[in-house]
A and B are shown apart, each in its own frame.
Chain A
């Protein structure tokens, strides 16, 4: 490409950018010498070239990498230090003989409990836990109560049945006066002297048996508050049977066992040290009471929330 009036600007730009060969540069110089009017343009373009300027970067040392020998020295130093550290640790481990047996024993759990100890407040304190524990306890208590009631009813039935057949089938002489028919449980009396002959008094014995049956059935329908009275009655009946001259020794033995079974344990509910056993579980009385309060407050809260 030749430099002329239409291409001079490109040549000038290439000239100031040092993109021309030596010969091309000479051609440009010659063109300007021949056409001085273009010299001004060349000067203006040269003025756009930024002069060299030193702006040193101050952190060269940080960019440099350590020489290999220095790196080796550092690695050796690190290795030496690690070895020394390991030795120190080993010495320390030997110096520490371990914890004493007494201290270890003190860390162990109590062996006194018979089974798993439920600690309700050791659990996560949320309402669902309380509700679940409360429901579990209610099931246990309900089951216990149901079992007790069934046992009592069974006892009463046993006593009644034991009295009735002995009197009727084994021809036992019952001490009931013919002129005094038994009208209620409390009217059942015993009379040891009146030994009635079996043959002539059969009808009376049958009557007496019927009365006893009726009274026994009435007993079965009593509520729990009358259970003690029923037991007393059965005890009276047994005593009456004992006092007869007939041989009812077997009945007497059964009654004694039942008596023992019926006995109740007096529980002091205010005793803070009370321990409650449910099946195989041992529950701290204090904590159980606290749990009850929590459950109550939970239901109260729910109730108040619903009301709101």
Chain B
């Protein structure tokens, strides 16, 4: 990977990696640190990383660093402890989205990462499996369980089904 390709990766993927991490750990400073570490690792290994695989590489590194971070802090933040300003969320999201995000935050870390990688980044089961060190069938099963959990929680919050989009 050339320096130019690396800089393109920063432009194209930094937001996505940051969003994935900050949605998971809900702490902006820690998320920024993880993103920085991921890109630093990409820079150090730029000779070995193929540009086409750079995004997957970045998410893989960031995901594992996030898992390490969660293990170190030994707890996931509570749903109401989000570090993202509430005002910002209120402006951006509807009530249903807030309910959905609250439900997502109640998932276990693996399920949460699966949903975020699938919905935000649009990764296939196979790609998600590569990032999270899971088989494709595991991804499929875990993700479907997560969807059903979210559906049940959304049904409890909003009796009448409303499409989030």
Q: Is the CB of A10 within 8 A of B144?
A: yes
Q: Is the CB of B164 within 8 A of A49?
A: yes
Q: Is the CB of A65 within 8 A of B43?
A: yes
Cα–Cα, bound, A18→B120 (Å) = 13
Whether a CB of chain A sits under 8 angstroms from the CB of B10 is yes
Least Cβ–Cβ distance between A133 and chain B, in angstroms: 59
Which of these binds chain A: B17-25, B48-56, B73-81?
A: B17-25
Number of contacts between A and B (CB, 8 Å)? 100
Q: Is the CB of B17 within 8 A of A13?
A: no
Whether a CB of chain B sits under 8 angstroms from the CB of A54 is yes
Interface size of B as a range? 35 or more
Q: Is the CB of A57 within 8 A of B100?
A: no
Which of these binds chain B: A40-48, A80-88, A101-109, A208-216?
A: A40-48
Chain B hits for A63, CB < 8 A: 10, 14, 35-36, 39
Whether a CB of chain A sits under 8 angstroms from the CB of B163 is yes
Whether a CB of chain B sits under 8 angstroms from the CB of A116 is no
Q: Mark A60-98, 1 if CB is under 8 A from B, else 0.
A: 101111011000000000000000000000000000000
Least Cβ–Cβ distance between B50 and chain A, in angstroms: 18
Cα–Cα, bound, A13→B120 (Å) = 16
Cα–Cα, bound, A16→B125 (Å) = 13
Cα–Cα, bound, A120→B154 (Å) = 88
Q: Which of A19, A44, A46, A54 is within 8 Å of B155, CB to CB?
A: A44
Chain B hits for A99, CB < 8 A: none
Q: Is the CB of A59 within 8 A of B162?
A: no
With an 8 Å Cβ cutoff, the count of chain A residues facing the other chain is 31
Interface residues of B in 11-65 (CB under 8 A from A): 11, 14-15, 17-19, 22-23, 32, 35-36, 39, 43
Whether a CB of chain B sits under 8 angstroms from the CB of A146 is no
Whether a CB of chain A sits under 8 angstroms from the CB of B101 is yes
Least Cβ–Cβ distance between B82 and chain A, in angstroms: 12
Least Cβ–Cβ distance between B66 and chain A, in angstroms: 15
Least Cβ–Cβ distance between B20 and chain A, in angstroms: 9
Whether a CB of chain B sits under 8 angstroms from the CB of A55 is yes
- Most chain B CB atoms below 10 A, which of A43, A52, A64, A68: A64
Whether a CB of chain A sits under 8 angstroms from the CB of B86 is no
Least Cβ–Cβ distance between A14 and chain B, in angstroms: 8
Q: Is the CB of B144 within 8 A of A13?
A: yes
The chain B residues found within 8 Å of chain A, CB to CB, are 3-4, 6-7, 10-11, 14-15, 17-19, 22-23, 32, 35-36, 39, 43, 84, 92-93, 96-97, 100-101, 104, 115-116, 118-120, 122, 124-125, 140, 143-144, 147, 150-151, 154-155, 161-165
